């Protein structure tokens, strides 16, 4: 099956593309580096032409509510409209567990994305996943990494990619069971263990977003609730793979 992957050059997007290929599908990458701009819609019609399904793992890196909402609302509207015109049968979008419980700027964009997808004419599935094991990596690139205090149940990006491909192969279900990893971890601890596995010497400094946002993040508002899907890779396995690759 031909499947367009919005954000197919990104962290989880690259894994989705590889997973699709391994399963015998034909992925089509939609990203600016491939001449497609989700924000403006440029190149989208050609990108989704002939696709049976679309997986949306596009992203904007920001903590600003305005920037996040503008990106995710515009990108999702353009994607849904192009997919509808092309007769796409299934749109699978990746969101974040607890994005509706924590008023962090970026999460308002994820809520906007979910609203557009769920309110649109293309049959849809939304998968909410917890933070990836890789979540603190961009922060660790700096000599002093400011890492938010956050109680998480992180999941391997690779397990998330596999779940997205499993979902796209099935009928649209609306909201899929949330996806988390096998254990609850403190994000600061995750960052420190990642830093050590990479052999880095930089400092990891815990920070707490002010007010209710910080309290919610520390207090477990980003954890999956009730029945949920669970990635199989453990964080220890993820660290061992990093060490082995050094």
Residues that bind ligand NAP (CB under 6 A): 7-13, 31-33, 36-39, 57-61, 94, 96, 110, 129, 131-132, 135
Residue 225's CB is within 10 A of a number of other CB atoms, namely 12
Q: What are phi and psi of 49, to 5 degrees?
A: -55, 130
The nearest distance, CB 135 to ligand NAP, in angstroms, is 4
Specify the DSSP class assigned to residue 147.
E
- C-beta closer to ligand NAP: residue 98 or 122: 98
Nearer to ligand NAP, 17 or 201 (CB): 17
Q: Which CB atom, from 108 or from 135, has the smaller least distance to ligand NAP?
A: 135
Q: Tell me how far, at minimum, the Cβ of 136 lies from ligand NAP, in Å.
A: 9
Rama region for 43: left / alpha / beta (φ>0; ψ in -120 to 50; rest): left
User: Residue 68 or 201: which CB sits closer to ligand NAP?
Assistant: 68
CB of 195 to ligand NAP, least distance (A): 17
- Dihedrals phi, psi of 185, to nearest 5 degrees: -140, 155
- Residue whose C-beta lies closest to ligand NAP: 10
To ligand NAP, the closest distance from the beta carbon of 245 in angstroms equals 19
Q: Which helix (H) or strand (E) holds 4?
A: strand 2-6
3-state DSSP helix/strand/coil % of the chain, to nearest 5: 40, 20, 40
């Amino acid at each position: 099956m031909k499947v367009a992957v919005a954000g197919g050059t990104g962290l989880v997007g690259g894994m989705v593309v590889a997973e699709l290929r391994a399963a015998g599908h034909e992925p089509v990458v939609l990203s600016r580096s491939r001449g497609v701009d989700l924000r403006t819609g440029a190149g989208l019609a050609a990108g989704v032409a002939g696709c049976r399904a679309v997986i949306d793992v596009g992203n904007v890196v920001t903590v600003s509510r305005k920037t996040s909402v503008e990106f995710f609302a515009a990108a999702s509207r353009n994607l849904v409209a192009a997919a509808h015109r092309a007769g796409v049968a299934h749109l699978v979008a990746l969101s974040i567990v607890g994005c509706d419980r924590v008023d962090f700027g970026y999460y308002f964009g994820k809520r906007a994305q979910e609203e557009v997808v769920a309110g649109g004419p293309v049959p849809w599935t939304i998968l909410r996943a917890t933070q990836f094991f890789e979540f603190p990596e961009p922060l660790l690139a700096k000599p002093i990494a400011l890492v938010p205090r956050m109680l998480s149940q992180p999941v391997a990006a690779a397990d998330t990619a596999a779940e997205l491909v499993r979902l796209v192969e099935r009928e649209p279900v609306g909201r899929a069971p949330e996806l988390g990893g096998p254990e609850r971890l403190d994000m600061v601890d995750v960052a420190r263990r990642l830093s050590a596995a990479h052999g880095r010497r930089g400092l990891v400094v815990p920070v707490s977003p002010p007010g209710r946002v910080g309290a919610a993040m520390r207090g477990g508002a980003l954890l999956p609730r009730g029945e949920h899907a669970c990635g199989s890779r453990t964080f220890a396995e993820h660290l061992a793979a990093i060490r082995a690759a050094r």
